[in-house]
Amino acid sequence: MAALILHSGDGNKNAFKALIAAEYCGVKVLLAKNFEMGVTNKTPEFIKMNPLGKVPVLETPDGAVFESNAIARYVARSKGDNLLFGDSLIQYGRVEQWIDFATTEVDSNIARWLYPRLGFLPFVPASEEISIAGLKRSLGALNTYLASYTFLVGDSVTLADIVMTCNLYSGFAGILTKDFTSQFPHVERYFWTMVNQPNFKKIIGDVKQAEAVPAVRRNAAPAKPKEVKKTAPKEAKKAAPKETPKPVVEEPEEEAPKPKPKNPLDLLPPSKMVLDDWKRLYSNTKSNFHEVAIKGFWDMYDPEGYSLWFCEYKYQEENTVSYVTLNKVGGFLQRMDLCRKYAFGKMLVIGSEAPFKLKGLWLFRGQEIPKFVMEEVYDMELYEWTKVDISDEAQKERVNAMIEDLEPFEGQALLDAKCFK
């Protein structure tokens, strides 16, 4: 088979996908010589291969293929004697599943966070918050899955791992600092395992994690045109700029700021309970917890502005492995990050042997579980939710026991207790 020509500049993570796949398949893929981004991809010859002028593009004996995942699939199928699509129909389906997940859930959120900070797109703080929340949700789900697996599909590298790792690479190298990724330890372990595989390292090289989130690059406002004297055409010609100025990305902050949409919970009547005050009391109480923190909670609690909820996992019989059960809770709390401003929670892992029980207590702003939490955090559907009746002394005592991590809890030992605050 003749060598395939990949049109792309060096260091393009989307080009890495095909190049790494080629290493696993034994297919010869060569980078086009003298490719210059912004020049080569604007030529008529390139536009014939991809009308949008985007890279990478793969040139084959039968014509061109564009879109990086399609190119990687083409390369992976160029030789049939490999396991990049798994060894069964279900594995093939799961490879495709994780490729889509890597693209729509991981890559898109990284790009929406990173590119505006690099000046490629307008920077809008509210949009950045949404992209970070979306990325945390996606990496949380991936982290939970990887707690039990080394590779995404089967027992060896597949195209799913190649695409996922290349998409994570742009994040790890560009914006995901250690402080951020440490929230997802299984994703960290997976990423560093993958990039140190010989076929990955040959293409990507040594990877250095971002040490800081890039500062927003402020594009200069367009300069005001110089006034040209009509009576002095020679001077006007001399004053004209030698080059056509490059287009400038408008900075939203230079315009009248658009009001950020308010969360419906911010529109509720003011509450006498200040959630941060309770969180500080909880964190800072080191002794006499029941007398100080528990009493302080009920002194602060505002039943009109807040509501308390018990939750219980619907599928307790599945909790047969302790660390997997603990990871379920950890992933759930990560995905709840989007409501940190409006909630406090305790999650208990109960029992000294399997099956372990997951039960929790949550304090939410308002009288109902926030709608955006129910819509955005898929774990919510895995629990039965019961509103606490604080007029019932038995329920109040149960609230106290859960806040205090009282052991034994309902006659059983606590394996662990996690707090969301």
For 360-414, how does the pLDDT look when each residue is reduced to its tens digit (9 = 90+)?
999 999 999 999 999 888 889 999 999 999 999 999 999 999 999 999 999 999 9
62, 131: one domain: no
Closest listed residue to residue 311, CA positions, set 372, 366, 374, 359? 359
| In a domain? residue 320 | yes
Give CA–CA dist 30/76, Å, rounded. Answer: 15
pLDDT of residue 324: 84
- Reduced to 3 states (helix: H, G, I; strand: E, B; else coil), residue 55 is coil
57, 140: one domain: no
Give percent of the chain with pLDDT exceeding 70: 89
pLDDT of residue 210: 93
Q: Mean pLDDT, the chain, as a whole number?
A: 87
Q: At what angle do helices 125-146 and 108-118 cross, to 10 degrees?
A: 140
Work out the pLDDT band at 36, boundaries 50, 70, 90. Answer: confident
203 token code pair = 């293409």
Closest listed residue to residue 161, CA positions, set 171, 173, 149? 149
280-329, pLDDT tens digit by residue? 999 999 899 999 999 999 999 999 999 999 999 999 998 998 888 898 89
Domain of 36, CATH number, reads: 3.40.30.10
172-224, pLDDT tens digit by residue? 999 999 999 999 999 999 999 999 999 999 999 999 999 999 998 765 333 34
| In a domain? residue 239 | no
66, 99: one domain: no
For the cut 90, the answer to whether the pLDDT of residue 263 exceeds it is no
Give CA–CA dist 8/31, Å, rounded. Answer: 7
Work out the pLDDT band at 250, boundaries 50, 70, 90. Answer: very low
Does residue 355 have a cis peptide bond before it, meaning omega lies within 30 degrees of 0?
Answer: yes
For the cut 60, the answer to whether the pLDDT of residue 252 exceeds it is no
Closest listed residue to residue 43, CA positions, set 32, 53, 29? 53
* Domain total in the chain: 3
Give mean pLDDT, residues 256-268: 69
Closest listed residue to residue 14, CA positions, set 99, 132, 131? 99
pLDDT of residue 218: 60
Please give the residue that has the higher pLDDT: either 181 or 11: 181
Give CA–CA dist 171/173, Å, rounded. Answer: 5
- Reduced to 3 states (helix: H, G, I; strand: E, B; else coil), residue 71 is helix
For the cut 60, the answer to whether the pLDDT of residue 342 exceeds it is yes
Work out the pLDDT band at 1, boundaries 50, 70, 90. Answer: low
353 lies in which domain range? 275-420
67, 93: one domain: no
Count, residues in the chain: 421
Within 8 A by CB and 6+ apart from 44, the residues are: none
| In a domain? residue 222 | no
- At which of 162, 177, 204 does a domain end? 204
292, 383: one domain: yes
125, 60: one domain: no
For the cut 90, the answer to whether the pLDDT of residue 253 exceeds it is no
With contact defined as beta carbons under 8 Å apart, do 111 and 182 qualify? Answer: no
Task: Look at the alpha carbons of 397, 403, 408, 412 in this order and tell me if their dihedral is positive or negative.
Answer: positive
170, 284: one domain: no
Question: What count of Cα atoms within 13 Å lies in the side-chain half-sphere of residue 262?
Answer: 5
Query: What is the phi/psi pair of residue 31, to 5°?
Result: -75, 135
